[in-house]
Amino acid sequence: MSSALSWRHHVVIQSLFSRGPLCEKDMHAMFEQLTKRNPGTERQLFDGFILKINKALSCANFELRACINQYDGQVYYGVVNTVADEHSKLGTKYSVPQIAFYKAIIEAIVQDASAQGVIFSIHALNLSLDGQVTIMTDPQSQGSLSNVPSTLKNFSLSQKEKTLNELVQDQWLNLTTEGVIKLGLKSFLDLRSWFRNNDVPSCHVCNEAGIKAEVCQNENCTVRIHQYCLKQLFLQGKVAKVCPSCGTSWPYTVPQEEALQTGDDSEPRQSQRVTRSDRKRQSANRVVVDDGVGCSNQDELNENKEIQNGNVLGRKRRRGRQTDDAETGGPGASQSSAAISGLRRVTRNSARLK
């Protein structure tokens, strides 16, 4: 395996084994740092990189796999064991009662008809392990109480609490501060085939197990859709917000960030709807720049009106100030000449406005 992979591949594998599942952002950042290539724009190169790792890992029955965390809709990458036989179970650190407890929690979560994808810790700790007899006995066993092994019967509350903490630490489960248990990233990565084999209802859009999903309000309809799949479905053009199977109205609220983005996109189109008077005001307030001198068209119109009304006194006063400045040779002389040239430009521009 080492001869087929470069040191860059080894870094990725070691990071996933030591740190556990990585979110897509961190995975892409690592790839870009190692290869100096952008996985967003060079997706084929990134996929080839992952494929080469999987070819090397296949000899050890491992696979680098991507999954979606159904609680936040984010993509994560992790390495999973692709074999689920009895020999592979020997490699786990968990005892048989601990595995039975974990399996009981998973079944309680996936069997929830409301598809909330959670179970309260107090309920999880009180789950009976009698239904997990087949883990320790012959699958043909009826699972009667007399056949329940003592290790399952005697699995105490404190042992369950300890196991729960270990499962959370190893990312098989997630426990919130409110005491709500969710599936962990490793469960989404490893249990994909288990979800299918145990007939866990799938999402109508992506066909993956609908652990955390929205359900149709029609009691006779079994459709469930992930929240991120709903977003993808209902934000496409003019798609009606109804159940894709039975046609029942599906209450869907556009997330706030999408609503803000939509509002921002619509603002330029609304601002383009200006009236004729608005255009006149905008034209009047437009700044005209000529050789570094700026003035507004409104000022030009006022100056022109003053000239047209025969305000000779105002012009005489300006000429007088210009003559005095020119005779004294003071610093105002250049400013007066600039004002005169500016006045001429105003007159010419005003004539054009007419």
Q: Is the pTM of this model over 0.85?
A: no
Do residues 64 and 95 both lie within one domain? no
Q: Is residue 315 part of a domain?
A: no
**Residue 56 and residue 21 in one domain:** yes
Same domain? 18 vs 64 = yes
Q: What is the DSSP string of 26-44?
A: HHHHHHHHHHS--TTT-HH
CA distance 94 to 217: 40
Q: Does 250 reside within a domain?
A: no
- Together in a domain, 54 and 129: no
343 falls within a domain:
no
Give the strands of the sheet with 180-183, arranged side by side: 118-120, 180-183, 173-175
Query: Given this model, what pLDDT does residue 239 score?
Result: 77
Q: Are residues 114 and 171 in the same domain?
A: yes
Query: 82, 97, 117 — which closes off a domain?
Result: 82
The CATH code of the domain that includes 110 is 1.10.10.10
114 and 20 in a common domain = no
For residue 240, being part of any structural domain is answered with: no
Q: Are 57 and 130 part of one and the same domain? A: no
Q: Are 21 and 74 in contact (CB under 8 A)?
A: no
For 176, the domain range is: 88-135+149-198
Residues 22 and 64 in one domain: yes
Which of 82, 105, 120 corresponds to the end of one domain?
Answer: 82
Give the torsion sign (CA, 148, 119, 176, 184). Answer: positive
Q: Is residue 332 assigned to a domain?
A: no
The verdict on 38 and 126 lying in the same domain is no
Q: What local confidence, expressed as pLDDT, does residue 153 receive? A: 81
Asked, for residue 22, whether it belongs to a domain, the answer is: yes
78 and 97 fall within a common domain: no
Is 11 part of a structural domain of the chain? yes
Q: What is the mean pLDDT of each run of 10 residues along the chain (354 residues)?
A: 80 94 96 95 95 94 95 95 67 86 94 94 92 58 56 89 95 95 95 91 94 93 94 79 91 62 44 44 41 41 50 53 47 44 48 44
In a domain, 32, yes or no: yes
pLDDT of residue 92: 77
Residues 96 and 189 in one domain: yes
Whether residues 76 and 93 share a domain: the answer is no
**Domain containing residue 31: CATH number:** 3.90.1150.220
d(CA 266, CA 270): 6
Phi (first) and psi of residue 61, to 5 degrees: 60, 40
Number of independent structural domains in the chain = 2
Q: Output the pLDDT for position 279.
A: 47
